[in-house]
Structure 1
Amino acid sequence: MRYGLSRTEFAVSAVLCLAAAGLVLPRVQAARADAARAQCTENLRKLGQACLEFEKAQGGLPPRRGGFNNGEPYSGWGAAILPHLGEEATAKKYNPKLDFFDPANKAAVETRVKPFLCPAAPAERAVRIESQASTKAANPDKDTVFTVAAAVSDYIASNGVLLPRGGYALNFNDAGQMNGNQRQPMGDNDVTPLAKITDGTSTTLLLIEQAGRPAVWRNGKKRDSDGQFGMSPNARGAWAGWGSIAFGPADAATGESPGRGDATDCAVNCNNWFGVYGFHAGGANVLMCDGAVKFVGPKLDPLTFAYLTLRDDGHAVSPNDF
């Protein structure tokens, strides 16, 4: 009687096990990717619902940036919607009369808030801020440099449209490279009523997935950088800080914005500082002003991206265009 496997039988068994693992592993990875994408979509939907609840309560969508050129405390839409997001505990820790990077707000601002995070994006990130208190912040100490490792947000609003100076951009309604800074669904320092979105809430972008900050990502590859604005208080990527940036396309080959102005330009998954950017195969998520979340990919061309960004450019965009 023989016990155990011969060397040949063991080798065959090992090969069969490896082959089975080779079949199972891709399925497991695909299932995880699908689950991450679904959760990412749900988180963005929750943010949209919270923004709309804020609009009902306050008469307008929250300010994308608080303290923009007016000396008020630095803040953003993320902090404003906390009570409508089911994040009452964090909201109670946050004092809007102080800058988001103030020591009194440190505990709140360094808290990772799930709805602001896409699980498909790299984990354990923070936006380091070093700054003195702003002019009108309630903290009387205007000399000490405060430091905070602010928890991130993978979703961002617009504060303008950045387009190349030639090509398809010449067909855009406004002249110049930077367009429509004050014609977004969210404005600076004050609320914006939905009635101002005359292009239609279903075809105007409220938030886009722009994951991976504060790191630089171009065409799926991480690049070395200190961040878009260094450690200044206007550094983007913190859920409690300034939650907007100019939207715009990139050169598909290099990932650099604002692109070339031709058919090679890319609006999705090429540049995580200006474009739609997610860590999903085939595209990323965007939130419309009516609260609907859409998954967009290569079909979203740069000019349509620009038209979707402004609230009142008068250009009709069909849901089938993106």
Structure 2
Amino acid sequence: MRRGITRIELVVTAGMLFLGAGLLLPRLQAARADAARTQCTDNLRKLGQGFSEFEKVHGGLPPRRGGFNNGAPYSGWGAYILPYLGEEAVAKKYNLKYDFFDPANKAAVEAPVKPFLCPAAPGERTITIQSQASTKSENADKDTVYTTKAGVCDYISSNGVLMTRGGYGLNANTTDQMIGNPRQPMGDNDFVPLAKVTDGLSCTLLLIEQAGRPDVWRAGKKKDGDGQFGLSPNARGAWAGWGSIAFGPADAKTGENPGRGDSTDCSVNCNNWFGIYGFHTGGANVLFCDGSVRFVGTKLDPLTFAYLTLRDDGHLISPNDY
């Protein structure tokens, strides 16, 4: 005669399955996190290759901000390197003679482009822009306000360094809180040759992870707010829009910039508006001008971070320094 499963046996079996699931789940989560970090690294490496190919063809890196001081239609480095990322289909839909938020570019700009996205960053996100055509755009209608929900980019370049006025900021040899602009690898409205990176390509930052825009993140917590510059065309985070922001350390307790100028300040994973910010345990990825990608930890010294962003300050920094 066949004997059915007793209640005790059922409880024991369920307990064993529950225990096994509890042991397996952290491993699955860790594997997913590792895969996301690897893909994020591969994306940055692909972007580095795209920049390198662009520089060879055009004699310089693309503009980080097209349209700065009305120098061109609004755009950023993302639109320029599309053909060098294998994104020819999107590139064919994009016209640099119009602002990135213009209806002429809507089909391209609203498309998510995988190399610009770190899979570790949460959620499906867009950057909403509302603006009239700029003076340099070939769109003759300067009165209509256009709305675009642009695809995002989790990587960004620098257009200066926000430095504390005291503490380690005194060692930056400046009387101005904003230093360095325009002494980064990329410039505004024009192509900057890599030859101008005299500090060395392997110790000068080209891009950093600054993931999560337009949401505001401080030390792993999402805050209220929907973008650093509202709906304006200079809002950061759109892959086709302005691709740079002033870098700087944050107060480790509040996540706000600037920091206090002491050892408690934070350059990595404290602030996704000014600092390096990734959704990885222990650090985030950065891209150097030589195309190398490195994972930097949360102990990156703020002054070292500042020196790494400048192309010609004379500080030759090795990987052992951070």
Task: Tell me the TM-score range normalised by the shorter chain.
Answer: over 0.9
Residue 50 of structure 2 is matched in structure 1 by 50
Work out the percentage of aligned pairs sharing the same amino acid. 76
Aligned length, in residue pairs: 322
Residue 241 of structure 2 is matched in structure 1 by 241
Partners of 1:16 and 1:181 in 2: how far apart? 61
Letter in 2 for 1:51: F
Residue 290 of structure 2 is matched in structure 1 by 290
Partners of 2:260 and 2:213 in 1: how far apart? 24
Deviation, structure 1 residue 239: 0.2
Query: Are 1:36 and 2:36 counterparts?
Result: yes
Assess if the C-alpha contact under 8 Å between 2:70 and 2:134 holds in 1.
Answer: no
Query: Secondary structure at the residue paired with 1:8?
Result: helix
Residue 146 of structure 1 is matched in structure 2 by 146
Residue 157 of structure 2 is matched in structure 1 by 157
Assess if the C-alpha contact under 8 Å between 1:173 and 1:313 holds in 2.
Answer: no
Partners of 1:168 and 1:10 in 2: how far apart? 64
Assess if the C-alpha contact under 8 Å between 1:299 and 1:321 holds in 2.
Answer: no
Query: Secondary structure at the residue paired with 2:160?
Result: strand
Letter in 1 for 2:302: P
Question: Is there any run of 5+ residues in structure 1 with no aligned partner, and where?
Answer: none
Query: Are 1:6 and 2:1 counterparts?
Result: no
Residue 269 of structure 2 is matched in structure 1 by 269
Letter in 2 for 1:8: I
Query: Are 1:260 and 2:251 counterparts?
Result: no
Q: Deviations over 1:18-75 (max 9, x none)?
A: 0000111111110010000000000011011101111101111110000100252100
Show the 5 A alignment for 1:1-322. Answer: 1-322=1-322
Partners of 2:131 and 2:159 in 1: how far apart? 23
Deviation, structure 1 residue 2: 4.8
Partners of 1:269 and 1:43 in 2: how far apart? 19
169-178 or 27-36: bigger deviation: 169-178
Question: Is there any run of 5+ residues in structure 2 with no aligned partner, and where?
Answer: none
Assess if the C-alpha contact under 8 Å between 1:204 and 1:289 holds in 2.
Answer: yes
Q: Deviations over 1:283-303 (max 9, x none)?
A: 000000000000001231101
Deviation, structure 1 residue 201: 0.5
Assess if the C-alpha contact under 8 Å between 1:269 and 1:284 holds in 2.
Answer: yes
Partners of 2:4 and 2:256 in 1: how far apart? 61
Assess if the C-alpha contact under 8 Å between 2:266 and 2:299 holds in 1.
Answer: no
Query: Secondary structure at the residue paired with 1:300?
Result: coil
Letter in 1 for 2:253: A
TM-score for both structures, normalised by structure 2: 0.99
Query: Secondary structure at the residue paired with 2:130?
Result: strand
